[in-house]
Structure 1
């Protein structure tokens, strides 16, 4: 079924409305007044009650100037407040100045506040822990440098020590390494090189050289110091046997683009104290990693770029929540592109939808499938249309989670491709051999589309662009999309929603609030509106009120426990108990780059208990309801949700 399209203002003008006939007369005299009149009529239209009942309504959220930041990450805390993380905000000057920003917005009080941000968590990974803290790991250690800005050839130098008796050696920043031809390269930072390791393999004593990696830059500018083949280098300043045992090896020295480098710091953000709490460093430096909660409450970190801007080739790790430390997970070795989109299944496995943020091989690790995180078996799934257009796509575990269906929305080609798709596909993971099947097309090809599960089991999709970072697509110099739509699972179709007024593409977010509204923020276009000048980060914030908020009085949740256990039935109270038809536990979002592994809505069976009391049954499966905080929404017989009540699943 094709989506229903709301008539455009131009189409309404041609329909012969009296007000527009008057505008036609004015147009002869003063053309600018036509635009003013059309705008006024549009404002009148979108603010009519009947319009809002069908399409919903957008409103600007006033943000004080001091709190306008580049929203790269956003998460809804169990205090009901919104955490907005910029870090350096994709701003090199802020990075070099060490100016990192985090903002908290309190929707209940309409207040903003600054939070001290210890390191550059720009493009880190994050997910909620069972205790409600937000685990934030990785981020930016170094910024990219475009090829035209690389004056001194550079490379990754691997320092090696063949001696088991000499060392460790501390090499300060600026240590010189010399090529066979006499070219000199200097280290960018301090590094420590240990001793060689002596090991016993089946009775045979073997020695393994110690090694450490560091960036080096050529002393001379230009192309002369470029080296395209692996080569060995002498470390300046060494004497005796160390001159032979300690040396450098580099695969190449280049003036190509230098990618972002990942950081290894990690924090738990405490929503009560509203501060970052330092925890153990990651095993690997990671930029653009995915963090996903495991069934036992620990967290798996996957993919990312290392400190030298290289894709991490399948070396994944776990955060042991009880010990607040990271450990290597060689038993779960698997390669994915950066920010791969995972959805925890009822059986505790991960479904990789194919959605990702792009860095990595254009072939390896991009095929969707089921990842058994107990034995590392990965079962690919087929049927996905436009299978090569999954970069910058979004995916959600459709509501209720018990149905075990995942939907993928839009996406584009690898890298800076101008190709994108309007495809949506859906997969039923309960099938013996699940495959993607066609869903309804989006109105236009879209990437960077935000998809938000609403309390009534629908999915609100908003923002995005058809071109790379809002840039050229077809004959358009700017390709931001202002149309919004709501996916209706019952009819497998889209219903048209009110159009937004702010374009959102790369680095944008959309999050469901406890009152049932959706907040949207961010956008990092490549070009300005002319399509010629550089773009500027979008700092305006909009809030969308879905049609269900214009259907009359809302039901309410007036009582019930703050904590519940799986497999139990618990009582909640509502003066509207007789009219309640659905109960949902909706996990709060933690989103970046349209990646949101936390988002899910769990159905609760309802048993009326007389009067104002309802008994709600909590599913027993950790795969359905991972430990953590949820918003409990009650829906009445008109499809109107309550304001959420916060509940922690233990």
Structure 2
């Protein structure tokens, strides 16, 4: 009896520690949900359409996926090293409301390509590797039961082939395509008289090193109409109309942040008079980890924050709770940012990282330094290289992908990941359901500077201001969401009217604040967002 008691006594501290960890995990905010056990493909690129569907896209020369194309449809490529006749899908469209998957047909290689939605809601997709190097593709979305598919443009190609480039829609609705591996230029779609051909951007060449840290540059459209372009550890303000660098920002400490060093970046919500833009860049690999092929070099967790529109800008530094590479920063409807996915060691690239970072972190920009980060409930699925995160119209965040291998492998330490998950921030918890607003009426189309009304219903009486915020639908890939944007509209206090509330709003003033296109319009009551309604913002 004494031996048994002694044995239990020895193990009791460990048992108590384990139980306390379970309790702490259960108390952390946020919940996880498995949506689909097998999406058929591992999504390298993900985008949400105005029909509430999601386009998932992988590379074409990745070997067999786990989703066949419809009968009799195959892709023929004599140069494909694995499948000359490829009858497998490498892109699908997903309906989060029904969890249905429909295969799509894409012809040329989209590995490490770029994308952006056009003003009419069409997804523009550019570049890639091998036969996709100069290709431009379009996906015109449709209802979930439709038959829309990828179309490869035959009459126009990229002037420079682009691999690891970044797209950003501009105030006039054209798209600038920035950089790429060995391509230190910009070009535009559609080309115009004044913006035709490839234009040298010397800044990209100046910051390139033997680690290639100028790939997938972070590009943000500032409300003054210029571009904030960050590559390696430096940034410039770029006048795309005059092809001039009009400001050089101080270097960001902590080493390089772009591919393959794999940090992430957001521009915080634009609000007030829309004259101030704040950029945040978080995480990254230690310099040299990629060159040395080191998978266990700890990532750093430093974040830099800069007022890009300030006359004398400087970086304000702080640390995340975890070192992280390949994290995705997702702007939530509230203006907070979710940092999710990635690893705590190594670098970006095939089989180049270890120690998955399963804990999401909430970045609360309105809090003082030291209080901005909140650790959230961890997931269980490692999301490594080639994983994505996208805000859904219902306020959840869709998590997809993770294929840290050249081909689909399911027996590796970090296998190819076909599961789709959703992370629900704390604002979707059941105890907040009675203050969650429901949009009862909103225009389908609004013009710049136009005054319009939004009608909402709420179970409990409204206290304070109900926000109306426009969120873009970005193209998420390689730890950066191209074109991501949140604009907090000018609103008046809500007024009760016939059992609901009327909110008077003013649309964004111009295309520099919010480029033309479709936006998810959220109402936010006491930090709890509604389900979004799509609004077309036009000149």
TM-score strictly above 0.5: yes
Deviation at 1:338, TM superposition (A): 2.1
Equivalences for residues 423-572 of structure 1 within 5 A:
423-439=302-318, 441-469=319-347, 478-492=354-368, 493-525=372-404, 535-550=414-429, 551-553=432-434, 554-572=436-454
For residues 532-575 of structure 1, give each alpha carbon's deviation from its aligned partner in whole angstroms, at most 9, with x where no partner exists.
Answer: 96753222222111001112232110111111111111111112
Q: State whether residues 470 and 479 of structure 1, in contact with CA within 8 Å, keep that contact through their aligned partners in structure 2.
A: no
Is 2:144 the counterpart of 1:266? no
How has the CA–CA distance of structure 1 residues 538 and 26 changed in structure 2, closer, same or farther, with 3 Å as cutoff? farther
For residues 438-471 of structure 1, give each alpha carbon's deviation from its aligned partner in whole angstroms, at most 9, with x where no partner exists.
Answer: 13x1122211011111111111111211223589
Deviation at 1:505, TM superposition (A): 2.0
How has the CA–CA distance of structure 1 residues 590 and 26 changed in structure 2, closer, same or farther, with 3 Å as cutoff? farther
How has the CA–CA distance of structure 1 residues 601 and 97 changed in structure 2, closer, same or farther, with 3 Å as cutoff? same
Deviation at 1:426, TM superposition (A): 0.1
Deviation at 1:478, TM superposition (A): 3.0
Equivalences for residues 322-337 of structure 1 within 5 A:
327-330=196-199, 335=204, 337=214
Is 2:272 the counterpart of 1:404? no
The structure 2 residue matched to 1:595, chosen from 470, 473, 480, is 480
The structure 2 residue matched to 1:117, chosen from 106, 112, 115, is 106
Give the structure 2 partner of residue 384 of structure 1.
Answer: 252
Q: State whether residues 61 and 543 of structure 1, in contact with CA within 8 Å, keep that contact through their aligned partners in structure 2.
A: yes
Secondary structure at the counterpart of residue 316 of structure 1? strand
Q: State whether residues 100 and 120 of structure 1, in contact with CA within 8 Å, keep that contact through their aligned partners in structure 2.
A: no
Is 2:237 the counterpart of 1:370? yes
Q: State whether residues 352 and 370 of structure 1, in contact with CA within 8 Å, keep that contact through their aligned partners in structure 2.
A: yes
Give the structure 1 partner of residue 226 of structure 2.
Answer: 349
For residues 148-196 of structure 1, give each alpha carbon's deviation from its aligned partner in whole angstroms, at most 9, with x where no partner exists.
Answer: xxxxxxxxxxxxxxxxxxxxxxxxxxxxxxxxxxxxxxxxxxxxxxxxx
Give the structure 2 partner of residue 131 of structure 1.
Answer: 120
Equivalences for residues 42-121 of structure 1 within 5 A:
42=22, 51=27, 55-64=29-38, 67-88=39-60, 90-91=62-63, 96-98=84-86, 99-121=88-110
How has the CA–CA distance of structure 1 residues 432 and 538 changed in structure 2, closer, same or farther, with 3 Å as cutoff? same
Quote the Cα distance in structure 1 between the aligned partners of 2:90 and 2:31: 30
How has the CA–CA distance of structure 1 residues 502 and 533 changed in structure 2, closer, same or farther, with 3 Å as cutoff? closer
Q: State whether residues 60 and 109 of structure 2, in contact with CA within 8 Å, keep that contact through their aligned partners in structure 1.
A: yes
Aligned residues: 471
The more displaced of 550-559 and 55-64 is 55-64
For residues 613-648 of structure 1, give each alpha carbon's deviation from its aligned partner in whole angstroms, at most 9, with x where no partner exists.
Answer: 2111112131111111111111113x1110111111
Deviation at 1:117, TM superposition (A): 1.5
Larger radius of gyration: 1
Quote the Cα distance in structure 1 between the aligned partners of 2:415 and 2:241: 45
For residues 503-532 of structure 1, give each alpha carbon's deviation from its aligned partner in whole angstroms, at most 9, with x where no partner exists.
Answer: 1121110111111011111123369xxxx9
How has the CA–CA distance of structure 1 residues 276 and 454 changed in structure 2, closer, same or farther, with 3 Å as cutoff? same
Quote the Cα distance in structure 2 between the aligned partners of 1:472 and 1:335: 24
Q: State whether residues 446 and 466 of structure 1, in contact with CA within 8 Å, keep that contact through their aligned partners in structure 2.
A: yes
Secondary structure at the counterpart of residue 234 of structure 2? coil
How has the CA–CA distance of structure 1 residues 628 and 422 changed in structure 2, closer, same or farther, with 3 Å as cutoff? same
Quote the Cα distance in structure 2 between the aligned partners of 1:61 and 1:467: 28
Quote the Cα distance in structure 1 between the aligned partners of 2:5 and 2:186: 68
Quote the Cα distance in structure 1 between the aligned partners of 2:511 and 2:426: 33
Give the structure 2 partner of residue 289 of structure 1.
Answer: 165
> Which has the higher relative contact order, 1 or 2, with Cα contacts under 8 A spaced 6 or more apart?
2
Quote the Cα distance in structure 1 between the aligned partners of 2:59 and 2:481: 19
Q: State whether residues 70 and 89 of structure 1, in contact with CA within 8 Å, keep that contact through their aligned partners in structure 2.
A: no
How has the CA–CA distance of structure 1 residues 95 and 409 changed in structure 2, closer, same or farther, with 3 Å as cutoff? farther
Quote the Cα distance in structure 2 between the aligned partners of 1:584 and 1:503: 32
The structure 2 residue matched to 1:277, chosen from 119, 141, 151, is 151
For residues 348-404 of structure 1, give each alpha carbon's deviation from its aligned partner in whole angstroms, at most 9, with x where no partner exists.
Answer: 11102336xxxxxxxxxx521211212222222115121335431100001236341
Secondary structure at the counterpart of residue 87 of structure 1? coil
